[in-house]
Amino acid sequence: MKLRRITDDTHLLWLVMALPGLWLLYERLVLHTKMDYIWWTGLPSVWFLILSLAVTPLQQLFRRPLPWLRQRRRYFGVASFGYAALHTFIWLLGVNMGGLVRSFQRIDLVTGWVAMAIMTVLAATSFDTAVDRMGPMWKTVQRWAYPMAVLTLLHWIMTDYGGWREVAVYSVPLILLEGWRVRRYRRRMRRV
């Protein structure tokens, strides 16, 4: 019973999800560490994005609901947005106005900008009030998470942060799950 109370505590979950950010803050403000903060803010954004997108295919794969994950999927998406916003903010601190304008001429950065724009809309509509007001349209808007995830991975690959191996470690499991999900959907549609 006590363990269930801990796992159901959303404040504790938010604290756990904030730990990478708190660690970065500690490294920067207390230890004055010179590190690639752009990389270290992008990484948890990808972690939480992959976790939020993996919930449905995992449920389908195991043929049973995963209520704890399903109920917190939006939290993971919002956490992903928070780290992506921090990632963008830190990048903006390092460029001047000319660099910002030129970033819209570089495909590696344009993919990041478009992904961030989509993610902002998804985060803004991920609260209960938005869900209630939008009705069935909410699900349509939230499906933009898939092209946004593709753009995020393209941004990651093209900016060469970590190289292909790093991207594969994080993205291949999700790609396999989503591929299985699409295949399963097509099989079901053929039977109908």
Enclosing H/E stretch for 135 = none
Digitized pLDDT (tens) for each residue of the chain, 192 residues in all: 566 677 778 889 999 999 999 998 898 888 888 888 888 898 899 999 988 988 888 887 787 777 888 888 899 999 999 999 999 999 999 999 999 999 999 999 999 999 999 999 999 998 889 888 988 888 888 889 988 988 998 898 888 765 677 777 777 877 777 777 778 778 877 776
- For residues 74 and 126, the answer to whether their CB atoms sit within 8 Å is yes
- Please state, in angstroms and rounded to a whole number, the distance separating the CA atoms of residues 48 and 176: 17
- pTM of the full predicted structure? 0.86
